[in-house]
Amino acid sequence: MTPGRPVPPPLGKPLVLSDETADAAPATPSTPAAAQGTPTLAAAYGATSADSGLVPLTVARRAPKEDDVEIEIDFCGLCHSDVHATRGEWGTQNYPLVPGHEIVGRVRSVGSAVDDFALGDVVGVGCLVDSCRECDSCLEGLEQYCERGNVGTYGVKDARNGDSITQGGYSTSVVVDRRFVLRVPEGLDPAAVAPLLCAGITTYSPLRYFDVEEGDVVGVVGLGGLGHMAVKIAKAMGAQVVVFTTSDAKMEAAIELGADDVILSKDPEAMEGANRTIDVIIDTVAAPHDLNPYFRTLRLNGALFQLGLPSTDMPPVSPGALIRRRLSYAGSLIGGIAETQEMLDFCAEHGVVSDVEVVTARQLNEAYDRMVAGDVKYRFVLDTKTLQPASEKADV
Ligand code: NAP
Ligand code: ZN
Ligand code: ZN
């Protein structure tokens, strides 16, 4: 750890941002759909309004352009952000909306300029499918902080594709520019890898930014999808991990997951006992909550990273708590593409994957309710084989 002086993560192989490969010969033949330039109809599940729940839909996927990779989706994780978005908790959405940004599948076809992916490769797509590729953030490989606004995997306008609205991974296929496709290391269970594409990178990025290493003490608040990945990744980085949970039922589970200690956050005495013991806190709670008791658990120069994005304001932070220990209160948004690849390789090296419960399309609505109730260990993942066949006409 470098207290109070976070270091940027090494970005590994720089992202190729120019179109210099545009004239390169194709490494693999494209499918007939790609050759004919016709969109593909893909089965999907999504919301048609904030209170519709998730229903079967058919999505038109663009015919792969020269830099595109067409992916047959096998699994897609269910993130709490999908719940916030589809239920309109983050404000007005573009409906119909197919959520899903923890995508794992296999390459079905590639555009003529793609020479870094071949048919059958196991690949992933996370929360980003494009960005401006030109601003300082993009040039640094921090596409999530694109100064002109990143292009999220679902629900946003995609300027390079006729301002169409992006549609996510609760679907049988997706077409994504090669620059935003991740390589899934061999030998990992694809269903258990899917949540790494959001929950994994979202927790890896602040831990790397804070340069967490052996001997550091990491606090993880909320033991859900993000939280359980934070525990596993921080342990793999050599840290000691303390979990803060609101659920008595998760106390034992946290230790089984690898945590060194677990604190019931609604127990003031237990919270007081953790005073000045922690270097960095990763807060993943999906609802408003008081942060001040957590600041008291931080040591001098400690930091609290807010990752949860509730739909309503949080209780105010006490300036005194920050000032008296030179604490940092920070936010962090997913991770860039190069860092996501770094995270996948790190997880493969350390045998880290998500603990998942695979669900069918028909179980999606129940899975959302269970997620909101905290009743999942620790990530639901949709098996896309269970989606209904696509209809003959696209809904979106
Ligand atoms: P999740 O699986 O539902 O986990 C959230 C955990 O928060 C719960 O398991 C629960 O853990 C705790 N919690 C405590 N009180 C809660 C309450 N009243 N309502 C809900 N949860 C409560 O969610 P997730 O997928 O990990 O996502 C967590 C948050 O991060 C969401 O707001 C999501 O939108 C956001 N997110 C942010 C980013 C980013 O880039 N910053 C990326 C992805 C997701 P205990 O039972 O242990 O207390
Ligand atoms: Zn997510
Ligand atoms: Zn940009």
CA–CA distance, 133 with 328 (Å, rounded to integer)? 30
Does the pTM surpass 0.95? The reply is: no
What ligand 1 atom has the least distance to the C-alpha of 243?
47
The tokens for 235 are 């342990």
Residue 30 pLDDT exceeds 80: no
Range of lowest pLDDT (19-33, 131-145, 173-187, 344-358): 19-33
Q: Which of 2-11, 116-125, 188-197, 340-349 shows the lowest mean pLDDT across its residues?
A: 2-11
CA 93 to ligand 2 center in whole angstroms: 16
Ligand 1 near 374 CB (within 6 A): yes
User: Above 60 in pLDDT, residue 33?
Assistant: no
Q: Decide: 179 in ligand 1 pocket, CB within 6 A.
A: no
Average pLDDT, the chain: 92
Ligand 1 lined by 254 (C-beta under 6 Å): no
pLDDT for residue 3 is more than 50: no
For the record, the structure tokens of 146 come out as 């694109």
pLDDT digits (tens, 9 = 90+) for 294-312: 999 999 999 999 999 998 9
| pLDDT at residue 6, as a whole number | 46
What's the pLDDT at 95? 97
Helices (H), the chain: 32-36, 80-86, 136-139, 190-193, 199-209, 225-236, 251-257, 268-273, 292-295, 319-324, 337-350, 364-372
Question: To test the ligand 1 pocket, which listed residue (81, 223, 378) has its Cβ within 8 A of the most ligand atoms?
Answer: 81
- In this structure, are residues 63 and 40 in contact, taking their beta carbons and an 8 Å threshold? yes
- Contact criterion met (CB below 8 Å) for 134 and 146: no
- Cβ atoms of 294 and 244 within 8 Å: the answer is yes
Read off the pLDDT band of 31 (50, 70, 90).
very low
Q: How confident is the model at residue 393 (pLDDT cuts 50, 70, 90)?
A: very high
Question: What integer pLDDT is reported at residue 1 of this predicted model?
Answer: 58
Q: Count Cα atoms within 13 angstroms, Cβ side, for 225.
A: 33
Q: Is 283 exposed, middle or buried (0-12, 13-18, 19+ CB in 10 A)?
A: buried
CATH class of 199-331: alpha beta
Q: Is 101 in the pocket of ligand 1 (CB under 6 A)?
A: no
Integer Cα distance of 289 and 310 in angstroms:
9
335 lines ligand 1 (CB under 6 A): no
Q: What is the pLDDT of residues 370-387, one digit of tens each?
A: 999 999 999 999 999 999
Q: With 70 as the cut, is the pLDDT of residue 28 above it? A: no
Q: Which ligand is nearest to the CA of 307?
A: 1
As a whole-number percent, the residues of the chain with pLDDT over 70 amount to 91
Tens of pLDDT, residue by residue over 204-245, are 999 999 999 999 999 999 999 999 999 999 999 999 999 999
The domain ranges of the chain are 32-197+353-386, 199-331
Q: How far apart are the CA of 198 and the centre of ligand 2, in A?
A: 5
Looking at residue 38, its pLDDT comes to 87
Q: Which atom of ligand 1 is nearest to the CA of 83?
A: 34
Q: Is the per-residue pLDDT at 24 higher than 50?
A: no
Ligand nearest to the CA of 379: 1
Tell me which CATH code domain 32-197+353-386 carries.
Answer: 3.90.180.10
Q: Which residue has the higher pLDDT, 4 or 122?
A: 122
58 vs 35: CA distance, rounded Å: 22
pLDDT 10s digits, 53-87? 999 999 999 999 999 999 999 999 999 999 999 99
Cβ–Cβ contacts within 10 Å for residue 324, how many? 12
* pLDDT score at 37: 78
